[in-house]
Structure 1
Amino acid sequence: MKAWKLKEKWSTKAKSYDDLLILSLLGALCGLLSGLVMVLFYAVIYLPTRYFLGADFDAFESLPMVWRVGLVIASCVVLAGILTLLPNRFHKVGVPYVIERLNYHGGNLPIMNGVVQFFSAVIALIGGLSIGKEGPAVHLGATLGGFLAEKAKLPQYGVETLLACGVAGAISAIFQTPLAGVLFAFEVIFLEYRQRYVLPVLLSSVVAALISHYVIGPLDLFSIGDISSVVFSSDLFVTCFVLVIFIVLLSALFLHAQKVLWHLSGLSVWWRFLLVAAASSLAAMYLPEALGSGYRALSQLLSGDLLVYSLLLLIVVKTLLTALTIGLGIPGGMIGPTFIIGGLAGVQAAFIFNHGEADIALFALLGMAAMMAACFQAPLTALVAIIEMTHSSEAIVPALFVIVLACLLMRVFFHQESVFAERLSYMGMSSNISPFQRYLRHHTVKPVAEAVLLLPASVPLEQVKDLASNVIDYVIFESDGRWQFVRRVALLDALQTLDVGPQSWLSIADDEVTMNLSLALESTAIPLIDEPSSLEAMLSWFQKTGLPEVLVSLSGSSFGLVSRHRLDQFLLKSE
């Protein structure tokens, strides 16, 4: 008996390692596909802008005013027309939608929503609207991960793993920051660190980064240059403290402006998008640097070019314009613009305290990290992102100072969670699931499924006698198109009735004596279902049907008997 338990324990461990290998291979494939889709996304956006603008990123100020205004209005009109023609269920896109589908729909992301996200984000970005491409990238990566999980028929924990792989791969390919992509998936999408997912997600992120680097080349969104050794002085930390206050105020403005605009979601898409077109047209006429993601303005500042207007004005306008564009439903992302707003705020803080040119890049990085951490409550993602983008660890200590302080102030004084969590809360949904739900989702039905022996409706007597040495408790057979189950002991008891004489259930076919199981004993009809994705789905089935047991078709053409009593025992034991 002890040898049997050791063998069973070894088989269970071997199976878990097989699952890890399968998930890792699928994660690598997900990273490959995410990298290729992000390359396509990048090319579709920036090949046209390179042709018209002569630059890769956001050089809308180089266009004549008529062109700038025309592009803004045209993109809003085209988007409004497309969304008017599409059913409302296809309007849901972006990071909040990914979290919603993960928490409430088992991670099932419809392909059509991903297609809408791809083309709508391309139209908005080419038109110069103040959005980012990182949010749409997350949706596309998660859709790829969910699609692969569905095709591979993975259980729920496998679906969540591949969703994390897709998100990490997308962020990694867009920024070429593989570790930040992994942390973003855990901190922003799952709101927790999950060690069980780490290896496949890391593999996906690395593969996606390699694909992006190989096809696109190194992404220099802005020239940071070498960060000189940081001197820890009182001037440095005073500037950092002022920068944090500035960042927190900008984050609060960004979030509260969106909250006000969410109340206008009942308006027609035409009215909302025309409001975006009007505001963006004003920016196109008087402050074109606020259009697009904003990389161009920050790059100019870091390269030493002076702006001919107030930097503070650009920061406030960029914050409000992005909040207006996203808040009124333009299907784009907000990660990139907030990143740049923080960078501009860092440059402004450096100017206020008359820091030298060598420190401007440092404070730009600190502002980027603080703004990202404050808006999305993702401190480690923000820290690692700036380290990977600059290939330098010089700024770690001041970066930790501004990140932690910004996150604390947002939570303590403004009581704000991540902007995505706030959006879901406004919609009446939670951004996270309970520990009990998480536990159920991370387990398949196999731990609570009892083995059953499949027999024909008419079984040879010799085979029935052999059941005496069998350890399986239940026997199933099909009769009149319905599945029946009986206890093995009851079958053996029925066999003993032959001692008192011939029985009605005896029959002879081809010189073989058989037992008709449906006549030999009373059996219980039982429904047959496909294997649920998790214990959560199994518990939901019991709650909906009210039945005490069910026959589950497991992988490998086998069956298992799952009872509500055994499921409850398993959960109580786990508690």
Structure 2
Amino acid sequence: MARFSRSDFTLERFRRQLANVDALPQLCVLGLVSGTITGALMVIFRLLLSAGALLYMPDGDSEAFESLSPWVRAGLPFIAVSLIGILLYRQRTTARKLGVGHVIERLTYHQGRFPLRNWLNQWWVGVVAVLGGLSAGREGPAIHLGAAASSGLGERMRLPNNSLRVLVACGTAAAISASFNTPIAGVIFAMEVVMMEYTLMSFMPVILASMMGALVAQLVYGNQPAFHIPDVALGSLMNLPWVVMLGLVIGLLAGGFIHLSRLQRVQQWPLWGRLGGVAFITGVAAFWFPEVQGIGYDSVAAALNNELTVQVLLALMAVKLVVTALTVAGGVPIGIIGPVLVVGAASGALSGLFGGWIWEAKAADPGVYAMLGMAAMMGAVLQAPLAALMALLELTHTPGIMLPGMLAVVVACLTSRQLTGCEGFFISSVRYGLHPLQQPLMQALSRVSVPAVMERHLVRTPRMISPDQARRLLETNPVWLVIERSRDDKPALGLKAAELARWMIEHDNSPTADAVTQNELIDLLEIPGQRLEMAPIALQATLSEAFLALQDNSLGALYVVHGYRPKQRRISGIITRGAIERYYHYSDPRDSDSANKESSA
């Protein structure tokens, strides 16, 4: 029976285990903790929305804009953008980045580390945007809050950066799961939209986090689905050509939405012109069609149950799409997933009504097309077909909708990408072209931290040493000598210990060379051998960070700095290009077996 000591459960050992690619049990523990924390934060965020709605919304319902007078609901967007303009845009530019795009940016370029100020801003901006009558969802703020809180947990524990990436995915999945009561869709969304990869080491902790997020939310709000769906089915397969047409229309709408939200002409306006324009267009639309305000889940439920007029459906399809896109283009940080679902549901319901007028005998219920429109629009805008299908299944609890849903989602995604030239909304918002998270090599290197491959056998030494000092250094059998320089502006140098040992042997045993005297100092910069210029890298860094740092041709290696206070820092290891290449280069074990047989023969 295995015996455990207290040293097996220390935080330092936990960090070392997380640095490796096979730290699955440790990551699962983090997933459980992250899901619990994120689920609690999502409950608090939803309670804040409910508390704010109690101040002026009828019955405290944050979606009841239709019950307000036209002038009140038209004036709310001006109050919302004024608060955002005064309180948010007076801060520095980096503090204004919020939402899912910010999460992907921090994961891509900052190893999943989030600024605290942005996280605090997200709380009140998310509440103000939704309760202020803007066309905004709560999912973007929820994902930012959950991902940043989970990553912050890892930062507080000083965990390696490869585990921070998984924590970001855990927080994202738990946020989606707790917001919609859709644990599977939360997992797929985190992997497909945020992480942009599918790996076993990420899947299992993310699944646990999503489960815990949903569990915490269910303890407060119950286990009811987000929407109550009537018992409907596609019926005749003659509807499938009409489903294809729906996918084409949704794909064009999704492409138009992305292009409109990236409109350079709007983004070049002065700040108050952009914010004023957002308030004006939202206020005018709300005066006539209050359904375009807020998240719009009440409108989705009504569309699924055929309770909306054609006029309202047209407004939700066209006006809400334009208002939401121009709000994004105007620089107001809002969540777009909720409004996208509303636009898709309205578009699908209109398609179903039109199909019923053309061929009443075979046409399916408009509610079926509303469900398909939701999934198709979400998949096309995000370029995340699997996440859209899982959301469709969990939101509707209708397994029979999956077959036509697959067709509609694929057609919409292809149309948006090929005919309108749009990538996923959040990929476009970070960088055009191939996104760094989509590069297989960088994905593989990001899963491991430098302690997993660094060389730990090293000694630090000054440049000038005596022969006795050299022998004492070599007694510990180091692989590397780290030569410290006289000034901080000079880079540290790495020298293989074997080079010093060879030089010592040659001068001690050579009959033609004078032996090194005890008083003579050895200059480690003068003895034969290759010296590598080195730069520091943090112990928490991933191999992808080390790989990018070593792209500088002047650097031959990196020394790994351990410690969190300047006077207590020490060098824990050295990592070279060769060590990184040995990690990701595949060697067929059969080659080594055949080589061994040949040598033995």
**What is the TM-score with the length of structure 1 in the denominator?**
0.83
Per-residue deviation at 1:196?
2.6
For the structure 1 residues 496 and 35, does the alpha-carbon distance in structure 2 shift closer, same or farther, using more than 3 Å as the test? same
> Contact 1:251–1:375 (CA<8 Å) still a contact in 2?
yes
Structure 1 residue aligned with 2:439: 434
> Contact 2:533–2:554 (CA<8 Å) still a contact in 1?
no
> Contact 1:58–1:128 (CA<8 Å) still a contact in 2?
no
**Which of these residues, 153, 158, 162, is aligned with residue 158 of structure 2?**
153
1: CA distance, partners of 2:277 / 2:66: 21
Structure 2 residue aligned with 1:250: 253
Per-residue deviation at 1:176?
1.1
- SS of aligned partner of 1:132: coil
- SS of aligned partner of 1:450: coil
1:559 aligns with 2:572: yes
For the structure 1 residues 449 and 251, does the alpha-carbon distance in structure 2 shift closer, same or farther, using more than 3 Å as the test? closer
Matches within 5 A, 1:19-418: 19-51=23-55, 52-54=57-59, 56-218=61-223, 220-225=225-230, 227-234=231-238, 236-260=239-263, 262-303=264-305, 305-307=307-309, 309-354=311-356, 359-418=365-424
Per-residue deviation at 1:548?
3.0
Per-residue deviation at 1:302?
3.9
Q: Which runs of 5+ in 1 are unaligned?
A: 1-11, 507-514
Amino acid of the structure 2 residue aligned with 1:22: Q
For the structure 1 residues 86 and 394, does the alpha-carbon distance in structure 2 shift closer, same or farther, using more than 3 Å as the test? same
> Contact 2:458–2:482 (CA<8 Å) still a contact in 1?
yes
Equivalenced residue count is: 551
1: CA distance, partners of 2:481 / 2:313: 78
Amino acid of the structure 2 residue aligned with 1:56: D
Per-residue deviation at 1:123?
0.6
Matches within 5 A, 1:461-472: 472=478
> Contact 2:20–2:452 (CA<8 Å) still a contact in 1?
no
Q: Which moved more, 1:281-290 or 1:48-57?
A: 48-57
- SS of aligned partner of 1:394: helix
Amino acid of the structure 2 residue aligned with 1:194: T
1: CA distance, partners of 2:581 / 2:391: 44
2: CA distance, partners of 1:442 / 1:254: 34
- SS of aligned partner of 1:173: helix
Per-residue deviation at 1:86?
1.2
> Contact 1:374–1:407 (CA<8 Å) still a contact in 2?
yes
Q: Which runs of 5+ in 2 are unaligned?
A: 1-15, 564-568, 589-601
2: CA distance, partners of 1:306 / 1:494: 89
> Contact 1:49–1:126 (CA<8 Å) still a contact in 2?
yes
For the structure 1 residues 134 and 13, does the alpha-carbon distance in structure 2 shift closer, same or farther, using more than 3 Å as the test? closer
Structure 2 residue aligned with 1:487: 497
Matches within 5 A, 1:540-559: 540-544=548-552, 546-553=554-561, 559=572
1: CA distance, partners of 2:505 / 2:202: 51
Amino acid of the structure 2 residue aligned with 1:417: E
Per-residue deviation at 1:154?
3.3
2: CA distance, partners of 1:544 / 1:502: 40
1:422 aligns with 2:399: no
**What is the TM-score with the length of structure 2 in the denominator?**
0.80
2: CA distance, partners of 1:151 / 1:495: 49
> What fraction of aligned residue pairs are identical, expressed as a percent?
31
- SS of aligned partner of 1:395: helix
Amino acid of the structure 2 residue aligned with 1:533: A
> Contact 1:445–1:531 (CA<8 Å) still a contact in 2?
yes
> Contact 1:26–1:148 (CA<8 Å) still a contact in 2?
no
2: CA distance, partners of 1:559 / 1:544: 22
- SS of aligned partner of 1:263: helix
2: CA distance, partners of 1:134 / 1:464: 63
Per-residue deviation at 1:315?
1.9
Per-residue deviation at 1:445?
3.0
> Contact 1:326–1:333 (CA<8 Å) still a contact in 2?
no
Give the aligned CA root-mean-square deviation in angstroms. Answer: 3.9
2: CA distance, partners of 1:89 / 1:481: 34
For the structure 1 residues 572 and 432, does the alpha-carbon distance in structure 2 shift closer, same or farther, using more than 3 Å as the test? closer
